[in-house]
Chain A
Amino acid sequence: MSLEIVDSCVSCHACLPLCPSGAISVGDKHLMINKKKCTECEGDYADSQCAAICPIEGAIVDGVTGMACNPPGSLTGIPPHKIEEAMQEMQAR
């Protein structure tokens, strides 16, 4: 079991010092989780620390299922269809 950081990571480093297993490092494009080291914080914290501070929806996913720890709308409170509308409007310009 492990978590994974995907391309939408903005490299804010917030998760880096929180990881109790030292599994997170700075990669070329974004931060990375070492699958072998990651414990999903079991035994250390009630919540996975990286997922609990990450500000970007969808940036941290379950390494097996690929499910986002923080799905769209869960952190910003912006309904996903509103974001889509705004993006479409911008692209239309």
Chain B
Amino acid sequence: MELSVLGQEESIDKGCSSGSCGSTDDQLSHLSDEIREKVHNHPCYSEDAHHYFARMHVAVAPACNIQCHYCNRKYDCSNESRPGVVSELLTPDQAVKKTMAVAANIPQMTVLGIAGPGDPLANPERTFETFRQLSEKAPDIKLCVSTNGLALPESVEELAKHNIDHVTITINTLDPEVGAKIYPWVFWNNRRIKGVKGAKILIEQQQKGLEMLASRGILVKVNSVMIPGVNDEHLKEVSRVVKAKGAFLHNVMPLIAEAEHGTFFGVMGQRGPSSKELQALQDACAGDMNMMRHCRQCRADAVGLLGEDRGDEFTMDKIEEMEIDYGAAMEKRKVIHQAIAEELSVKRNDSSDEPTSIFDKAYRPVLMAVATSGGGVINQHFGHAKEFLVYEASTDGVRFIGHRKTDLYCGGGDTCGDGDSVLDQTIRSLEGCETVLCSKIGYEPWEMLEDAGILPNGEHAMEPIEDAIMEVYKEMIAEGKLEETSELETEEVRASA
């Protein structure tokens, strides 16, 4: 099994060796030491940790107690990657076995989440049996759960008992009128309740659950789906309120809506936000709290680093054949986690020593895309990238902006009948970026990128991402490419991510 984190010691002595060199957007810097300790190795909560640590979801929770207009439980195309979709439903015993198999084979896996494909708390027996066994058999794995919040208040006691210290609640609105446009019904007190009345119950339960978790010191992240024209403006208020009630991180995600998913929003032609709109909203919410920008909206059975899915290596028939010595695996995991923690700590310390501005005057900011398969370095071939990380380089430093999927949530490519080539789609996904940094790139895509006004750059293979971006930014300044900016243009570039 390949351990990509171990081969990266060579990167330590290059440049300032910082994974967040000159970073202006350290997500964790505002948090208390106690919370930082809890999330430092959680790929979903820490932007820099997500380059190193992996997560997995086990699909033990099929039932749901509400309907969301962006979800359709009927359709499961194996090429699809979005929440609510799984290939194989597991029993708690199977889920425990799978988790231990993955932990032994991917030692960077630190987090096990239950996220569906329904609502974990609508399947309390299956969910809590999985947690109970894992907290006993694999105490070195962090457990977390994601919920729509309807059954949250009644579950808080049980969550605390199983030592779950991370809960994600999806909160799309505080207003029942808006809620009725997102949730057609909820199942409550043995009845299906539709419209505004149902949405009101859901919203009350979400808020109550959030308060109960916060008062017990259980970390809460809030997910919100940005639906243009429905809740986009309103999410700024959601952000303020959930922060005031104790959520430590807010994750605004774009609506995924395609007619072929058969969801209400997909079929009715509701559009998702552009990258630009999403970033503008994330920036507007960021004044109020820590924003998460590296979320990949994983499937409920995803395995691996964020942005990759190694679920195929761990199907139940393959797991049945694996012999797992978890005691030995835990020893190995400990050593590897320690090594990653040290590398991260060096990077985090370096970045705090870095002078923030070394520029003689103002230059316009530039968006750059990066192909990486983890480890915080540029180490992926352009053609192999399923997604690109987008960073903004400016005279204030380098900040992470978000990711762009190359395949638009569907890995089916040509076989799905879309006339567009994968390469066309990939290049379109990079709109707004001026450079793309990768380990290598073929001749054909190079030309196509240049034609699209994006400069490919393979000169920084295996270098830490932020260092390389800053170097390229300085080169662009030296070449006079970033001169003559008015305030207005700067704003435009910032907004076009």
By a beta-carbon cutoff of 8 Å, the part of chain A in contact with chain B is 8, 10-14, 16-18, 45-47, 49, 52-53, 55-56, 75-78, 82-83, 86, 89-90, 93
Contacts and interface: CB of A to CB of B under 8 A. Distances in A.
B192 A76 contact: no
B135 interface: no
A76 B65 contact: no
Interface string B55-80: 00000001111010100111000000
**Residue among A17, A52, A77 having the largest count of chain B Cβ atoms under 10 Å:** A77
Contact of B63 (A12, A77, A90): A12
Given A82-B268, A83-B262, A56 B74 contact: yes
Interface stretch (B34-42, B182-190, B379-387, B475-483): B182-190
Contacts of B432: none
23 contacts: A10-B73, A11-B62, A11-B89, A12-B117, A14-B118, A14-B187, A45-B190, A46-B191, A47-B190, A52-B187, A52-B190, A53-B65, A55-B73, A56-B74, A75-B184, A76-B67, A76-B69, A77-B264, A82-B267, A83-B262, A83-B267, A86-B262, A89-B259
B192 A47 contact: yes
B7 interface: no
Contacts of B65: 14, 53
Nearest to A53: B187
Contacts of A53: 63, 65, 187, 192
Interface of B is mostly: loop
Contacts, number: 73
B192 A78 contact: no
Contacts of A75: 67, 184-185
B118 A12 contact: yes
B429 interface: no
Interface in B121-147: 122-123, 125
B355 interface: no
B442 interface: no
B260 A86 contact: yes
A45 B189 CA distance: 10
Contacts of B192: 47, 52-53
A36 B352 CA distance: 71
Contact of A14 (B64, B190, B267): B64
Given A11-B62, A13-B123, 7 more contacts: A12-B62, A12-B64, A12-B118, A14-B63, A47-B192, A75-B185, A90-B259
A14 B122 contact: yes
